[in-house]
Chains A and B, each alone.
Chain A
C-alpha cells in the first residue's frame, strides 16, 4: 500500500530550467494538493484539485502550473525555475479522510 508517491525525491536545477514534479495516489481520493515548505513558514498551498479535471490556485501559485492527469495523478510544473523556488515540495491527497502526504521532493535552484 504505497499511499502517495512523489518523484523525484531530490533535484537540483539551474535558474531558468523547467521541470515537472510527479505525484500519484492509490487511495482513490478525489482531492489532491501541492504544498511548499520553507523554514519558519509552515506548509503553504500552491495548487489544489478537488476532482479530476479541476484545479484551483492556492496561496502561492505564481511560477507554477499543475495538471490533474486523472484521478490518481497530479503534477506540478516549474516553467522557468528561480532561486526563490528552492524548497521542499509535498503532494497530498484526501477524500473522506484527513490529508495524506507523500515523502516530498527536495528541490534546489542554483
Chain B
C-alpha cells in the first residue's frame, strides 16, 4: 500500500539555525499537506501544495513539492522557540483522491529548539 516516509525523525537545533524536513511518497500524489503539532497538542493544518514544482512561503517557512509529485520538503529559516513541535506531511490515500479526503501521514519530524 501507499507509504509516506519522513526524515529525519528528530532534529535538535540552536535557536537561529535553519531546519529542514523531507517527505517521500511511494506513489505519485495529487497534493501534499503539512501539519504542525505542538507538544501536548493536536495537529494543525499549515498548507497544501498541488502543482508539480510548487513553492509556497509562510513567513520563515518554505514548502516545496517535487517535480514528480512524490516528495516534498519544509524548510524553516532562523528557527525560534515557537517552532518547537512535530511536523507531519500527509498525502491522499488514493491516487486521484479528493484534496481533503482520507490521508496517509508521514511519521513526523520532532523539532526541538535550544535557546
Residues on A facing B (Cβ under 8 Å)? 31, 33, 35, 40-45, 48, 50, 58, 90, 92, 94-104
Contacts and interface: CB of A to CB of B under 8 A. Distances in A.
B33 interface: yes
Contacts of B9: 40
Given A96-B100, A98-B33, A99-B100, A43 B105 contact: yes
Given A40-B107, A42-B105, A58-B102, 12 more contacts: A31-B101, A33-B102, A40-B9, A41-B107, A43-B88, A45-B104, A90-B43, A94-B101, A97-B100, A99-B43, A100-B45, A103-B41
Contact of A98 (B6, B41, B100, B105): B100
A42 B110 CA distance: 11
Contacts of A35: 105
A99 B42 contact: no
Contacts of A102: 42
Nearest to A97: B100
Nearest to A58: B102
Contacts of B48: 98
A95 B100 contact: yes
B45 A42 contact: no
A102 B104 CA distance: 18
Contact of B42 (A33, A40, A90, A96): A90
B91 interface: no
B68 interface: no
A89 B101 CA distance: 19
A103 B88 CA distance: 17
Nearest to B43: A101
Contacts of B43: 43, 90, 92, 99, 101
Given A90-B43, A98-B33, A45 B88 contact: no
